[in-house]
Amino acid sequence: MSDELSETRPTVDRARSFGSVADAYDRGRPSYPDEAVTWLTGGEAKVVLELGAGTGKLTRQLVDAGHAVFATDPDEAMLEVLRERVPEVSARTATAEDIPANDRSVDVVVVAQAFHWFDHEAALPEIARILKPGGHVALVWNSRDERIPWVRRMGDLLGRHDSNTSSSQHLVTSELFGFMEETSFKHWQEVNRDSVLDLARSRSSYLVMDADDQEQHLAEVRAFYDDYGRGMDGMQIPYVTRCYRAVVVDRDEQTTSGDDEPSQGGPVVSDGTDTDMLLIDFR
């Protein structure tokens, strides 16, 4: 287990604490480049399940791209904002370790800015279970481009935990998925003196501070903006959107012997096409 994982697993409850700042999260966090959304899903319209959907920052873009989208998040307060932003999406409070979906029922599972919070030993088998043959899982993170000195200073101030993409390596080592592809895209987020404070409030590190430390932290962020921002014109934060995807391994191929007869590896499950609703708990 990597250092990043060993540090975050005992404090996994932090992943479910964002509801207290759901509005700030929605106002302060950046969206994703349209090119990244296309790459994550593979283009044409598909059935997409988004895990850790939060307030719907990516969900809105998935729907606008023409996909049939279902969303889950462990925090009901976050989903309340999502339902306001994207009312046409069915949203359910659920975790990645216990997904309320039928076997082989979705084309793509997408995770934005949340995969590092998962219990991967439990979540990856669940993701593989619900993907159709040929389906894939796609991960995405927005990472500030810290080659620029003032952006690096912002990282020192806000922290970098939720920009750490090292958890994507669980796909590389998993026998449930094939070769992991990766790519990246560049974009900018415009922020002003108010929204940069929302960005600070939306960090897990801020949520675990006591009230005095939170106020001191926000004062430091205000001072940072006064140094580097441009008043009413705001500032543009450069991001690199890092994307990863891997196709699920076909279980039928794994459990078929050389003479093309099913082995004794286990029963073949339904592909979900005989049901009225692929995601039965989303009715």
| Alpha helices per DSSP H over the chain | 3-8, 22-28, 34-41, 59-64, 76-85, 120-130, 149-158, 169-173, 195-201, 204-207, 211-228, 251-254
CA 179 to chain centre: 20
If we measure between CA atoms, which residue out of 213, 212, 128, 129 comes closest to residue 171? 128
In a domain? residue 215 = no
* Structural domain that includes position 78: 3-144+164-188+238-250
For each of the chain's 283 residues, which pLDDT tens digit applies?
333 333 334 344 554 555 556 777 778 788 999 999 999 999 888 999 999 999 999 999 999 999 999 999 999 999 999 999 999 999 999 999 999 999 999 999 999 999 999 999 999 999 999 999 999 999 999 999 999 999 999 889 888 777 789 999 999 999 999 999 999 999 999 988 888 888 888 777 777 788 888 889 899 988 998 888 766 567 899 999 999 999 999 877 654 444 444 333 322 233 333 333 444 454 3
In a domain? residue 229 = no
In a domain? residue 181 = yes
In a domain? residue 222 = no
pLDDT at position 27, please?
82
What does the chain come to in residues? 283
| CA gyration radius, the chain | 20
In a domain? residue 99 = yes
pLDDT tens-digit readout, 193-251: 888 888 888 777 777 788 888 889 899 988 998 888 766 567 899 999 999 999 999 87
In a domain? residue 211 = no
Q: What angle do CA 245, 93, 3 make, to 5 degrees?
A: 50
Virtual torsion, Cα 77, 79, 82, 87, nearest 10 deg: -120
Q: How many CB atoms lie within 10 A of CB 176?
A: 18
In a domain? residue 105 = yes
CATH number at residue 29: 3.40.50.150
Task: Say if CB 54 and CB 23 are below 8 A apart.
Answer: no
If we measure between CA atoms, which residue out of 51, 67, 182 comes closest to residue 126? 51
Report the C-alpha gap between 157 and 200 in whole angstroms: 9
Please name every residue paired with 245 in a beta bridge, in sequence order, or none if there are none.
138, 181
How many structural domains are present in the chain?
1
